Structure 1
Amino acid sequence: MPHKVRLATMTSSAALALALLPSQALAQDSAEASEADAPLGEIIVTSQRREQNVQDVPIAISVTTAEDLERLQVQNIQSLQYSTPSLVVAGADPTRQRFGIRGISDQSRNPGFDNRIGVYVDDVWVGRSAASNQAVLDLASVEVLRGPQGTLFGKNTVAGAINMRTVRPQEGYSGYLEGELGNFDLRQLRGTLNLGFSDNVGARVSGFWAKRDGFVENISNGLDYNNRDDYAVRGQLQFKIGDTTIYLAADTAKFKSRALAGGERTPDPLAPRPRSIAHNDPQKYVIEYSGISGQIDHGFGNGGKLTSITAFRTSDFRGSVDEDFSPANFAATELASESTEHFSQEIRYASDSSGDFDYVVGLFYLDQQIEGAGRAVAFAPALNPRAPAVFLRVSQSSVVDAKTMAAFVHANYRPTDRLEITFGARLTREEKEINFAITDQTGLFANGTRNDERASNDFSPTVSVNYKVDDDSMAYVRYARAFKSFGWNADFVPSLADFAFDDESVDAFEAGFKTEMFDRRLRLNVAAYLSKHDNYQVFTFRQLANGGTALNVSNAGALTSKGIEIEAEAAPTDWLRLFANYGYNDATFDSFKNGGGPGIDFDGNTAAEAPRHNLNLGVATDFDLGFAKLVLQGDYNYRSSLFSNPDNLPVNLSQPLEIVNLRAGLDFGNVTLFGWMRNAFDVTEQIYNNRSFLGFPRAVFNDPQTYGVTLRVSFGQ
């Protein structure tokens, strides 16, 4: 049976089983179920700067718990995308991957352009794209907040925010050590050691190390590409003095690979098979990030809490790209690099939440420095057949200093037991300056310098009306505004005339319904949304005289994103859990004049990295065999095609992707042994297509079938 037929059959069967649950298994068990034995317990989030049940928060949040991270075999934020409605992580370049939520996507490709989505670890912003694809390391949960989060998370969250919550030091002595072996010579170790020295003092150390051969064969030099050579370490210390808790954390990570930052040429006459190339350039990258932070929480007798979070973080990357896709030395990006560091300070006060009115008020400060550089070389006849046989170079560098100051307030008022009104606002001041230089011998790019400094102010309000239909169901309507700050296209630019671009803003509307039924054996959350973006900042590939392309950033005009998201989880028995997540999105340019150059409009085109559909269906069983538990798990993931460029040309259209992941093993309590398989049917698709600088069609292929075994030994409590 063809794999797509098998997958379609699995999809239909799982959807039918979930649809029948309320009237069959769930209804059968509801009479005997109690709060204590209901499998779907509370999920606690901190998205509104205080601990809350996710079902009580009037925004669309996908929460992946520690148990689910293990079930889904999540390695990093990128691998979370298929199980989260409306989340996309795309692109070929690991140093600057494109994060998107609800069809609103981008990357911090150069120092003058910021991410649209903020990634946070314990409420600390981790930085730019190179640091955004954080490794999953000893996490309690990952919260994906969909839609603008301008009030509590600040600027550049016009699409959403991702908040990773670590496991804090706990009382007692405990931990685990895990080893993993797999095909492509995968070797991975990870572990955690928790030391609770007393009731008031605890420490925790976590880390992982991984090596793996690459998926792509270079027939020119015999090397394998897209390999892994990674490690990450985090240390934590927490102690309590009376009503004050002090939490200190430090982390560092390094990721190295021979990576295909430009993808593979398609078709490639020298290497026609998927996941094969014929390059002479080593095409390697290195990503490093690290940080230290301190959080102080002080509780007052009135139930309020004062929180201070101080952090300093750095990130660096270096990489190179073979631009001619051949063993010859025609064109290459010899160097792409970026080094950033930032200091942040947030202080906030959260009132007691037991009465009719509660609030959070705070101040935020961010000071960031970014240094970036790029150097490329090309054989002149490759750009122009009539040019002399010489090599030409272009290089650019930039330094950006940015400061952000903000004050915010967020409050809830409950005039009745069932009605709640949420309102908030953030006032932001943004100051930036840039020093940019570009030197060009090719005649295709700009040649000169540009120094500039700018500032802007923004007011981002939010309001929602939330109604408790009953004790387990809530309906809400929400309005939110956010902005993305101005910047500069500090890149290989053909002209300095349109070097700067302006602030982007969004007005977003959302209606949602959250419910738990059958004594918390079924959880169902639905959200519908409409977002209107003004002065939308967008990357486009502009045609050059030689037939190649250059990246350009401009304010597109107006874009509308609309859609619906459904998340369901059910536990019809103590040993069975079912999952279903679906997102539909339509992100379309209302106005994009001259998007492809003078007189070439993109009005009505679909935004980049905006698939219409994504679907995840999962099943997890947990049978008690007496001597151990038998665990069987499977997930089906589907994502429809997407464009890599708002021009919507066929060369920039990817293929749909559907894959199945499987996991099975035995849980003996302190020892677990699992076998796993990702992409079980070995599907091969082009999941990100675009054109290279020289105009070659190129593609990123999904990972092939991988499999292996994981052994975990837990100790202590």
Structure 2
Amino acid sequence: MHYIQSDIVFVRIWMDSAAHLSGVAFMRINPTALLSLAGLMSPAPLAAQTMATADDGPQIVTGGTRTAGETRMPDVIVTARRREENAQAVPASLNVVGGDLLDLSYTVNTQGVTALIPSLNYSSANPRNTALTIRGLGSSVVAVSQSNDGLEPGVGFYVDQVYHARPATAAFDFADIAQIEELRGPQGTLFGKNTTAGAINITSRAPTFTREGFAELSYGDYNLVQARGWVSGPISDTVAYRLSAVATRRDGILDNVATGRAANTVGTQAVRGQLLFKPSETLQTRIIADFTNFQAYCCTQVFVRVGETQRPLSRRYAYLAGQFGYAPASTDPYDRRINYDGPLGVDTNEGGVSAITDWRVGIGTITAVTAWRFWNWDAENDRDYTGLPIQLSQHIPSRQDQYSQEIRLASDGERRISYVVGLYGFRQRITGRPISIYGPAAAGWLIGQTTGANNTPVPTNLLDGYGQDGRTDFRTQSYAAFGEVNVRIVPTLTATGGLRYTHEDKDGYYSTFTFGGPAATSSALINARLGILRGQSYQAHDKDGSLSGRANLAWNVTDGVFGYASYARGFKSGGINMSGLPLNAQNQPALATAVVRPERNTTYEVGLKTQPFDRRLVFNIDGFYTRVRDFQATIVDSSQTAALRGYLSNIPKVTVKGIEADATAIVVAGLTVRAGVAYSDGRYTDYPAGPCPLELQTNQTAVCSLTGKRLASLPPWAITAGIDYSHQVAGGSVFLHADTASRSGYNGDPTLSRYTRIDAYNLTNASIGYRFAGGLELAVFARNLLDSNYLQNVTVQAGNSGLILGTPGDPRVIGVTLRTRQ
């Protein structure tokens, strides 16, 4: 059974319980080993045992197993409000994608989920520089700047109830997922960590007391290989286990003619082990340990275009490239050809251990979630994006550790008054080492032939070997109390109110020093070199607390028609710049920008959820208005000549308003179609001192008013659609899946330069297969079936020369999948 329910959309594919298809990724371990997982299972399954916990709720489809002949939508159970509820009765906008649909659509990571959820946007130049936004809010990290460790994401990312503090987690592949919920708007009154824009709540499949197993092997273009598998079953009458693994490998899709090695390969593997202890019907503990590793020759970008600036001709790309006799391998980004000479590679991993205990007592269920997680990061890239030795190395090896403890009490069953109350504690430490080293072409490209008022000649080797090293240390302590209560005023009208108080302490230490390079013989040359790179050292502290909350009214108009109106206020604590500070006119750090103010989000929303025609159709719609004050953003310091340094700042006011609607219909038994649309109008309502777009930049530090302009990285229109079909034939069944997603054009850079606009695009995926009566399945899949050319993100080259780069979407990939389950 396969479903997607969105606040708005709910999809169910009418297949029998064996019709799970799988996502495609790329493999780094022996695929045969994963295929052998199915053989670990005993052929004699034990009797099923009920598992009644909040964790397992997302796996439940009310009504039990359904056959292909049924024509009514099943209920989808969610835990969006930390208790099991029918998604169609939750007074909030949300999307729910079931694990079977994830498998069926070959969705193996968060980026793939955006093809199924129109309001969710994902951008990632590499795992560290990953940004998730909901309705255009949540993160302003763009490919032009590094992720700032001192800034919290506005979109919370939760896996099995554990908050993942670093956005890089969202870049990893996932496997064996029961359900993904996208929750829109502030979520502080129910979730442990406060988030202002929304939350992604992922639930993995839990251990079972019946034996089951799954194994899959896929092969496609670019030597794409993926193996996935899981096995689950009882250890005793009270203990069950589950072991899941995925491995993925793919050759590079960018041809680096300078080295003869294809770039942007994929290589990842992940493993997850679980134990479920269930000594009684009222008490259980689920222990989860996981590890994910990503090692690849990636992640780089291609030439997109050259934009004009107001800088002198000698500082523009055409002159600089001509000075060195350089030409890009191709000026068409979809040729996917580069000629970069610098190092390239990503080595990152993350993992952790958590324990979730549910204890049913007389007044409800007590849930305790204890977790430790870590994230290691190291990568190098040719940050000048040319075949010239301008920047020899840039990387920021870092380590993150987090500890969290949450305890909640939630009422059980249907009552006139229901509630959730909880306490949350969170500690985090991130240490880093920012490293940059320049090469023999750096002086000519970044400074020029002369410098200073007296036009002092610049030696060509002035920056050769000149670099930066340092240490960063960022620490967070966060504590919160939260609660929400629902009161049924009359049988058809329910009022909800929730409050949260959050207290946070943050400390940041940043220290860098310069080294190397030939001796500078004059003050003009010294100043020129310091203008490229200068050591900085500072410490900063931020301490704040805030009350946030939400309220709504929900009305069961008739059977199958549900309406609601809500108000929510979110709070995100202040941030600390951990990537260095912009320099003032005296080339000194502007310490006033070390700490940025808290962000406050106010959202109003109305919605209607319906299930007409005897539940053969689900149609939901909502409208929203969001106002954000002191929006925390990563701003680019255009005065920097060597590197477009990203630092944190506050945008006085941002607003987003829009309408979202989804519909799913069972046309005939076995045939389901769905469609979703999101329209969002995001604006910088008050932004008088924003960064200047490329076409207005000069050699002088300047600010430009962006008031009234559209919010960056937010497509005004996003449309998704899909079709699923299953038909019984002699000896088995045929199944078909297709999904398509279109997004209108938008600006991919916060400066809103006309040269950084990303054009509208469409992405279509499809698969067709045959399932034999014995359970073996064979399928053919296509990712980017129409071979659409589109950009995932854009970057302005360091040095403000006018060069624009981007990450092209993957080309069409066609492959085959073989799977079996027991």
Q: How does the TM-score come out when normalised to structure 1? A: 0.92
* Distance change >3 Å, CA 545–CA 422, structure 1 → 2: closer
1:179-578 aligned within 5 A: 179-242=217-280, 243-264=282-303, 266=305, 269-273=328-332, 274=334, 275-302=336-363, 304-378=364-438, 379-385=442-448, 386=450, 387-388=458-459, 389-390=461-462, 391=464, 392-440=466-514, 442-495=530-583, 496-497=589-590, 498-544=593-639, 546=641, 549-578=644-673
Return 5+ residue gaps in structure 1 as ranges. Answer: 1-17, 19-32
* 1:129 has 2:190 as partner: no
Q: Which residue identity does 1:49 align to in structure 2?
A: R
Contact 1:505 1:536 survives alignment (8 Å): yes
Deviation at 1:598, TM superposition (A): 4.8
Q: Which residue identity does 1:72 align to in structure 2?
A: S
Contact 2:343 2:392 survives alignment (8 Å): no
Q: Equivalent of 2:123, from 90, 99, 119?
A: 90
SS at match of 2:705: coil
1:657-672 aligned within 5 A: 657-669=761-773, 670-672=775-777
Range with bigger deviation, 546-555 or 60-69: 546-555
Contact 2:302 2:337 survives alignment (8 Å): no
Q: Deviations over 1:464-500 (max 9, x none)?
A: 0000011222100011111121112211433331222
* Distance change >3 Å, CA 77–CA 324, structure 1 → 2: same
SS at match of 1:586: strand
Range with bigger deviation, 94-103 or 380-389: 380-389
Taking the aligned partners of 2:153 and 2:785, their CA distance within structure 1 comes to: 34
2:44 equivalent in structure 1: none
Q: Which residue identity does 1:393 align to in structure 2?
A: G
Return 5+ residue gaps in structure 2 as ranges. Answer: 1-10, 12-65, 307-326, 451-457, 515-528, 584-588, 692-700
* 1:705 has 2:812 as partner: yes
**Structure showing the higher strand proportion among its residues:** 1
SS at match of 2:259: coil
Deviation at 1:331, TM superposition (A): 1.5
1:144-163 aligned within 5 A: 144-153=182-191, 155=193, 157-163=195-201
* 1:629 has 2:733 as partner: yes
Q: Which residue identity does 1:481 align to in structure 2?
A: R
Taking the aligned partners of 1:245 and 1:518, their CA distance within structure 2 comes to: 41
* Distance change >3 Å, CA 654–CA 395, structure 1 → 2: farther
SS at match of 1:415: strand
1:638 equivalent in structure 2: 742
Deviation at 1:446, TM superposition (A): 4.8
* Distance change >3 Å, CA 340–CA 647, structure 1 → 2: same
Q: How does the TM-score come out when normalised to structure 2? A: 0.80
Taking the aligned partners of 1:48 and 1:584, their CA distance within structure 2 comes to: 26
1:673 equivalent in structure 2: 778
Taking the aligned partners of 1:316 and 1:452, their CA distance within structure 2 comes to: 24
Deviation at 1:610, TM superposition (A): 0.8
Give the RMSD, CA atoms, in angstroms: 2.0
Range with bigger deviation, 543-552 or 467-476: 543-552
Contact 1:609 1:642 survives alignment (8 Å): yes
Q: Deviations over 1:225-247 (max 9, x none)?
A: 11111100000100212221111
Deviation at 1:445, TM superposition (A): 4.6
* 1:616 has 2:720 as partner: yes
SS at match of 2:396: strand
Deviation at 1:650, TM superposition (A): 1.2
SS at match of 1:443: helix
Range with bigger deviation, 264-273 or 62-71: 264-273
Range with bigger deviation, 334-343 or 33-42: 33-42
Taking the aligned partners of 1:161 and 1:53, their CA distance within structure 2 comes to: 18
Deviation at 1:335, TM superposition (A): 1.3
Taking the aligned partners of 1:610 and 1:213, their CA distance within structure 2 comes to: 31
Contact 2:351 2:373 survives alignment (8 Å): yes
* Distance change >3 Å, CA 295–CA 599, structure 1 → 2: closer
Taking the aligned partners of 1:479 and 1:545, their CA distance within structure 2 comes to: 42
1:591 equivalent in structure 2: 686
1:98-117 aligned within 5 A: 98-106=131-139, 107=141, 109-117=147-155
* Distance change >3 Å, CA 599–CA 448, structure 1 → 2: closer
2:59 equivalent in structure 1: none
Taking the aligned partners of 1:154 and 1:603, their CA distance within structure 2 comes to: 34
Q: Which residue identity does 2:497 align to in structure 1?
A: F
Deviation at 1:157, TM superposition (A): 1.5
Q: Which residue identity does 2:513 align to in structure 1?
A: T
1:50 equivalent in structure 2: 83
Range with bigger deviation, 488-497 or 397-406: 488-497
Identity score, percent: 28
* Distance change >3 Å, CA 262–CA 694, structure 1 → 2: farther
SS at match of 2:375: strand
Deviation at 1:710, TM superposition (A): 0.8
Contact 1:511 1:528 survives alignment (8 Å): yes
1:25 equivalent in structure 2: none
Deviation at 1:701, TM superposition (A): 0.8
SS at match of 1:95: coil
Q: Which residue identity does 1:245 align to in structure 2?
A: Q
Taking the aligned partners of 2:808 and 2:732, their CA distance within structure 1 comes to: 39
Contact 1:76 1:135 survives alignment (8 Å): yes
Taking the aligned partners of 1:518 and 1:640, their CA distance within structure 2 comes to: 33
Deviation at 1:516, TM superposition (A): 1.1
Deviation at 1:39, TM superposition (A): 4.3
Range with bigger deviation, 670-679 or 368-377: 368-377
2:752 equivalent in structure 1: 648
Contact 1:315 1:340 survives alignment (8 Å): yes
